[in-house]
Amino acid sequence: MTPKEPAESVDNSEGAATAAAAAESGGGSPAGRPLDGVRVVDITSTLMGPYCTLLLAQWGADVIKVEPPAGDVVRYIGDTRANGMGPAFLNTNRGKRSVALDLKAPGAAPVLAALVDSADVLVHNLRPAAARRLGLTAESALERNPRLVHCAFRGFAAGGPDSDRPAYDDVIQAAGGVAALQGGDGGAEYVRQAAADKTVGIYGAAAVLAALHGRQVTGRGRAVEVPMLETMASFTLLEQQGGRVFDPPTGPTGYARTSSPHRRPCRTKDGHLAVMIYTDAQWRAFFTAIGRPALADDPRFRTITERTEHIDTLYSMVNAELLLRTTAEWQAEFDARDIPATRVNTLDDLFTDPHLSATGFFERTEHPTEGPLLLGRPPVRMTEPAAGASPCEDEGPLRPAPHLGEHTREVLTELGLPGTEAAALFDTGVAREPTAATAA
């Protein structure tokens, strides 16, 4: 297969027509989502990049997930059926098509080049040396396709001493200050979820959307670098930089309210309740609720600045007061006074939460091989409701998460690869399709 020459420009109507044709063949996104007609080539693995491209798929993009012959490692997390369709993969890779390619094989280069030529967005989390070896640097990719949005995730930004080091979520939680902040008092603890991966993935999706808008204006693509360390350092310091915002510093780092040892869900007579009393009006309402309205005029508590300085005293008071009534009694009290408060849900409680149930957060879908699934709907809903339609109405469920290589042949056909060349790729192991065992 001969790689295409770089195009001067790509007409939007041509891209929309291509997407419509792909949709007819089962390869496109549901019509009506805002990124309908945008093709994303996704060469990422684990959680950060796949979460970014999941968001793009939920908003309508046709995401082609390029996987190595062994597949994305997340396929095998919790994979009790031994078919590469574990729970985390089913959640993170909905709405995508899987192409299995051995990118290290020489025969894969023309296919990879054609994928880049066909893409509106290329997302990868390859280390710099691997990107150079595969011709997937921003310079190489944009030379081929000047309208491409090239999004590269990496552990550490280019130009620093750590720029070539590998990184995972735990490493970045530590390097970005999250683990020390979470541990407090000189300790260190990880947030008990892949907080860095998912946060950086959201930043990546936002950056891609901004770059696509820029292309709409200028007609040119651009390179987007999303480094994990710098992203999490920025994320963490936003409210935690404290006196070190000033140069020279006027005080220490940290935010007293969030670092208070008394900041936690409060015990009640019969359980726990989370309450967040924040504004002047809310504190006045709370002081009235506990029969101590004069505290609103206490010099320690009159303004948010003074309350922050004495937050341990306030939170100790809240903890002591909540022990005097039941959870239901306090919930009713806080609801009546417009003070934010809620029960403490476990992960299992989320599946029966009355609000999530009422808003239809979970949807039941049928996977072709994995059977009935219960999955969370896209939390952000974007529609153009017709007269009388609900503004929360969405466009229906995404395509199910794919088996490894499920769409390899389909995508090769869309790229215009002759049948004989496609057959040679399969025969030599450069391209893969699902085996009967994994697809059963």
- Per-residue pLDDT at 298: 97
Asked if the model's pLDDT at residue 17 lies above 90, the reply is no
Q: What value does the mean pLDDT take over residues 40-59? A: 97
- Per-residue pLDDT at 14: 39
- Per-residue burial over 18-52, b if 16 or more Cβ lie within 10 Å, else e, is bbeebbeeebbbeeebebbbbbbbbbbbbbbbbbb
Q: Where are the alpha helices (DSSP H) in 68-120?
A: 87-92, 109-118
112-126, 194-208, 329-343, 391-405: which range is least confident on average? Answer: 391-405
1-5, 128-132, 310-314, 387-391: which range is least confident on average? Answer: 1-5
- Per-residue pLDDT at 397: 80
- Per-residue pLDDT at 57: 97
Q: Name the nearest CA neighbour of 318 among 258, 279, 276.
A: 276
**pLDDT, tens digit (0-9, with 9 covering 90-100), for 337-351:** 999 999 999 999 999
Decide: 166 and 14 in contact? Cβ < 8 Å: no
CB atoms within 10 A of CB 66: 24
Q: What value does the mean pLDDT take over residues 355-382? A: 94
Q: Name the nearest CA neighbour of 220 among 118, 112, 113, 120.
A: 120
Per the prediction, the chain carries an average pLDDT of 91
Asked if the model's pLDDT at residue 155 lies above 80, the reply is yes
Can you list the domains of the chain with their CATH numbers? 12-235+400-439 (3.40.50.10540), 266-342 (3.30.1540.10)
**pLDDT, tens digit (0-9, with 9 covering 90-100), for 354-366:** 999 999 999 999 9
**pLDDT, tens digit (0-9, with 9 covering 90-100), for 399-425:** 999 999 999 999 999 999 888 999 999
Asked if the model's pLDDT at residue 226 lies above 60, the reply is yes
Q: Name the nearest CA neighbour of 378 among 390, 361, 365.
A: 361
